[in-house]
Amino acid sequence: MIDVKNITKIYDPDANAFLALDGVSFKIEDGEFVAIMGPSGSGKSTLMHILGALDTPTTGTYFLDGKDVSSLTDDELADIRRDKIGFVFQSFNLLPRSTVLRNVMLPLIYSGVGEEERDRRAREALHASGLDETHFTHLSNQLSGGQIQRVAISRALVNNPSLILADEPTGNLDSKTGEIVLGTFQKLNKELGRTIILITHEPDVAEHADRIIVIRDGKITEDRKNHKKKDAVLELAKINSLKQ
Ligand SMILES: Nc1ncnc2c1ncn2[C@@H]1O[C@H](COP(=O)(O)OP(=O)(O)OP(=O)(O)O)[C@@H](O)[C@H]1O
Ligand SMILES: [Mg+2]
């Protein structure tokens, strides 16, 4: 489904040109669960924006489901982002003065889903990411970091996207909440066959994926199958038993 060939991304090409991606190539098939891991500034978010058709590479090609993304019109790109891709942004991008439910419903409003159905699906997505129902009518600026993270994940799931792109979705979470979030992704991947691309700088988080791609200074330095995949449910049980 994803085929990137030799892509580069140069920020600010005229003034202080900065090469954020330097000849990146890989393929990701439907139904894979891949972690993209690398230190801060290595180009992870830059790559995620390109994979999510939010930005275009400076050179190289990106085929998504057999289509050359650079050849699509803005409307076609917007349709793909709306129907196919669920984003969990590093900065979450929730609307601060809207309730949790409204934040999660937003993608459905853009897709023209009716009000009752929107409410039902938003609640379902919030339950799936484990947010307590008492928070559904809170404004997003009344939530803790972990709760905001779950709302952002629910919003990414509400449209049933085939591809989920999550940028540091467990950053700032305690290990227990982190395992719950990773468990949600593992379940979506295993039971519903969703393709998951999880971006992280933490090896421990990356170990929950089936394949790990390592990026450094804008270059892929490693791309391997993960034979010792961590199961979030087991990890959570370990954490709980340590606490008793
Ligand atoms: N809009 C921009 N203009 C200029 N440089 C940018 C821009 N966005 C990112 N960069 C630079 O590109 C490099 C890669 O940034 P990117 O955000 O992709 O890193 P990252 O791996 O996601 O880091 P982090 O783990 O801190 O989120 C960094 O050196 C950053 O300063
Ligand atoms: Mg980033």
- Render pLDDT for 192-236 as a digit per residue (tens, 0 to 9): 899 999 999 999 999 999 999 999 999 999 999 999 999 999 999
Rounded-to-5 percentages of helix, strand, coil across the chain: 40, 25, 35
User: Sign of the C-alpha dihedral, residues 157, 159, 164, 169?
Assistant: negative
Q: pLDDT tens, 52-82?
A: 999 999 999 999 999 999 999 999 999 999 8
Separation CA 113–CA 218 (nearest Å): 39
Q: 119 C-alpha to center of ligand 2: Å?
A: 31
User: Sign of the C-alpha dihedral, residues 158, 83, 191, 44?
Assistant: negative
What is the predicted pLDDT for the residue at 244?
66
Which of the ligands is closest to the CA of residue 216?
1
For each of the domains in the chain, give its residue range(s) and CATH number, in order of start.
Answer: 29-57+74-243 (3.40.50.300)
Helix, coil or strand: residue 98: coil
What is the predicted pLDDT for the residue at 93?
82
Separation CA 99–CA 103 (nearest Å): 6
Give the ligand 1 atom nearest the CA of 46. 18
Q: Using an 8 Å Cβ cutoff, are 164 and 28 in contact?
A: no
Rg (Cα) of the chain, in Å, rounded?
A: 18
Separation CA 175–CA 242 (nearest Å): 12
Residues near ligand 1 (Cβ within 6 A): 11-12, 18, 20, 38, 40-46, 90, 201
Pocket test for ligand 1, best of 7, 8, 36, 44 (most atoms within 8 A of CB): 44
Residue type present at position 140: S
